[in-house]
Amino acid sequence: MLRKDIIDLFRVPVGKKLKLKDHNPGWKQSAEFEDFGKDAVKERAQEVLTKSLTDLAQAQDLLYADSRYSLLIVLQAMDAAGKDGTIKHVMSGVNPQGCQVFSFKKPSSEELQHNFLWRYAKCLPERGRIGIFNRSYYEDVLVVKVHPELLGRQLPREKEQVGKKFWEERYEDINAFEQHLVRNGTVILKFFLNVSKDEQKRRFLERLERPEKNWKFSASDMAERGFWDDYTKAYEDALAATSTGPAPWYVIPADYKWITRAVVADIVTTTIRKLNLKYPEVTDEQKKRLVEARKKLDAE
Ligand code: ATP
Ligand code: MG
């Protein structure tokens, strides 16, 4: 399968209903590799990842030198879907100076005093940089939609008015916010790591069984698992309403970590490449200075 087809396969179409059951979390191959068995597929995915990482390092260097665009990567997922591992692997080859990661947890009381986009706006990547949001303003239409009591003071009206319209307005606000960013040179990629409920169970059990993974387990993860269906619905609604031409969502299969990483790295690299970035041109005046500097150094 061509790279372009893979990207199209996972992109959430604009303005259509989304059913996550139509997206297979265990996707791991295209028909082309089916005859080769699992090992060959894994090897192929690793090849794609290695190649993408080299390409990504180059692409990031250009992004930085060109310094007109920034790239915002939004990662959302249920617990244990592999956000952390994806960031670690996909960003392993890039220059740390050009990359910033922000992990968003429950908002502080100060943050709750502001509009819901405030704390994220402060962390946006500047031109030339890649910014990663490990969780994002989408939590404000996901976890907060599942547990509306989290709205706290962010609710300017009576409780009974937190209905369909309230959430639709938040989707609109998010779309307008992203539109604004895109118009100002931020390229936005949004990934939903789609892990199955069975695979989440397996990963939780691993966290319980392996002492070095115990710290990763939190009781609230178990509690949220109890709301699986509510989250699924919240994700379906949010992704369908906010996958736009300029800021698309991708539903990434997440039951196999090596697939998640290869696909994300591929989409990030392909997207930066499409910007047709160039190293800044050296003017005649600057060229003269280079020649002069060279002469001076040679004369030392
Ligand atoms: P891991 O996959 O390792 O568990 P994590 O991203 O879940 O990583 P945690 O510290 O476990 O990190 O959890 C962060 C928590 O903060 C999540 O439960 C998330 O739903 C919550 N959170 C993030 N943003 C908001 C928000 N705007 N309002 C309320 N809760 C939020
Ligand atoms: Mg968690």
The two structure tokens encoding residue 256:
């196999």
More confident residue, 35 or 26: 26
CB-CB contact of 208 with 146 (8 Å): no
pLDDT tens by residue, 230-273: 999 999 999 999 999 999 999 999 999 999 999 999 999 999 99
- Give domain 4-299's CATH number out of 3.40.50.300, 3.40.50.1820, 3.30.1330.60, 3.90.1010.10: 3.40.50.300
Question: What are the structural domain ranges in the chain?
Answer: 4-299
Q: Does any ligand 1 atom lie closer than 6 A to the CB of residue 218?
A: yes
What is the average per-residue pLDDT within 97-110?
Answer: 95
Angstrom distances, CA of residue 87 to CA of 62, 71, 143, 269, 273: 20, 14, 22, 14, 20
Is residue 118 within 8 A of residue 111, CB to CB? The reply is yes
CB of residue 75 inside a 6 A radius of ligand 1: no
Rounded-to-10 torsion of CA 265, 258, 40, 22: -90
Q: Is the pLDDT of residue 284 over 60?
A: yes
Closest CA to 261 of 26, 90, 41: 90
Q: What's the pLDDT at 169? A: 95
> Ligand 2 center to residue 221 CA distance, Å?
6
Ligand whose nearest atom lies closest to the CA of 107: 1
Mutation choice for ligand 1 from 101, 104, 218, CB with most ligand atoms inside 8 A: 104
Residues 6+ apart with CB under 8 A from 43: none
pLDDT at 234: 98
Which neighbouring-strand residues pair with 99?
A: 130
- Which of 16, 40, 17, 18 lies closest to 28 in space, CA to CA? 40
* Residue nearest (by alpha carbon) to ligand 1 atom 20: 143
pLDDT in tens, 115-163: 999 999 999 999 999 999 999 999 999 999 999 989 877 776 665 678 8
Judge if pTM exceeds 0.75.
Answer: yes
Q: If you take atom 29 of ligand 1, which residue's CA is the nearest one?
A: 106
CB 116 within 8 A of CB 233: no
Dihedral sign of CA atoms 262, 268, 271, 275 in order: negative
**Is the CB of residue 253 less than 8 Å from the CB of residue 194?**
yes
Q: Whose CA is nearest to atom 4 of ligand 1?
A: 79
